[in-house]
Structure 1
Amino acid sequence: MTIYDFTLTDNKGRSVPCRKFRGKILLIVNTATRCGFTPQYKALEALYQKYKEQGLEIIDIPCNQFLSQAPGSDQEIQSFCSLKYHTTFPRMKKADVNGAHELPLYKYLKSQQGFHGFGSGLKAMGMSLLMRQRDWHYQDNPDIKWNFTKFLVNREGAVVARFEPTTAMSEVEAGVAACLKAAT
């Protein structure tokens, strides 16, 4: 099984086979419109504009599983992202990333890149404390911990990195640039 074996549904209800992205660098992100990390949309759009001509695709999958921070319909989410952050990358239908109803793609992504911690700094410490309140053993499973977790997929379809929402966008960009460079 590879990432190209999965199919997503876009925010208009159309099927999007992941094989459509074969040969691209993918950054797959679970997002939310009312989260402390929501301003990352601005950095994601900047990254997309900078690297899309070189083969980067960002796949936005809104998720309402974390304190209901992605309320609203798919159209309302699209309008919010377009108007507030001017995003132009593909947005999928709102979906679960953990649990009984999680997207099969997310089960695969998590099997390829598990949770390795939130890193260091105040945001990382805050996320660790929040997670401990919810699940003392949160570090022991690959589940998505919060909104704006990112998976980086190279041109061959290998899931090469997982970035938690606390990871600096400069580190995410470095990962994208390294994948693009390796592919040339």
Structure 2
Amino acid sequence: MLKRWLAVPALMMTFGGVALGADCPALLEGQLPKLRAKESIDLCQRFAGKPLVIVNTASFCGFAPQFKGLEALYQRYKGAGLEVIGVPSDDFKQEAKTEEETAKVCYVNYGVTFTMTDPQKVRGKEAVHLFQVLAQQTGAPKWNFYKYVVDRQGKVIANFSSLTKPDDPDLIKAVEQALASKP
């Protein structure tokens, strides 16, 4: 009898995991290593059901000062549930050569507190899954600091070029639309 009672919680955990997996949008499947940390970010566990701004970054790009604007955007809306995910990439040949240097640019030079990953591929067949799905939904980033606003269901509701600053009224409108979306 005791064995049967022990099996029930194990069975519930198994099916519970399946249910959680089914609720995860394709965009958030998988993990990415966190910048200058030994941990990986389970994208589904950390971001499912949350409105997102996802941006590919580069430390030595002329648009790098947008880190300040992205941080301000994050601070303005994080209390409402917004998450910002920065994904450094050398796809356009403007990323630092080491993670330490990337981290210094993000954390020290610009005071970034939103989630940053280790440098990743964001274009083409070798792009990480997150950017493959973004490309399927709207298109691959055309340059560094390309911004995607994603609703709570994991669907891109707007994307913006590198020229669009984080405080642009159209980007703010998209963020507020993502915040208003139903989980």
Q: TM-score range by the shorter chain?
A: 0.7 to 0.9
Aligned match of 1:8: 32
- Is the Cα–Cα contact under 8 Å of residues 69 and 165 in structure 2 kept in the other structure? no
Q: CA deviation at 1:108?
A: 0.8
Q: CA deviation at 1:173?
A: 1.8
Aligned CA distance change for structure 1 residues 65 and 180 (closer, same or farther; 3 Å): same
Aligned match of 2:14: none
1:149 aligns with 2:175: no
Q: CA deviation at 1:85?
A: 1.0
Q: Which of residues 44, 55, 67 is equivalent to 2:81?
A: 55
Aligned match of 1:112: 137
Aligned match of 2:61: 35
Give the count of matched residue pairs: 155
Q: CA deviation at 1:183?
A: 4.2
SS at match of 2:62: coil
Aligned CA distance change for structure 1 residues 6 and 58 (closer, same or farther; 3 Å): same
- Structure 2 length normalisation: TM-score? 0.78
Q: Which of residues 34, 44, 48 is equivalent to 2:70?
A: 44
Q: CA deviation at 1:30?
A: 0.4
Q: Compute the RMSD of aligned alpha carbons.
A: 1.7
Q: CA deviation at 1:26?
A: 0.9
| Runs of 4+ deviating beyond 4 Å | none
Aligned CA distance change for structure 1 residues 37 and 176 (closer, same or farther; 3 Å): same
- Structure 1 length normalisation: TM-score? 0.78
Which has more radius of gyration?
Answer: 2
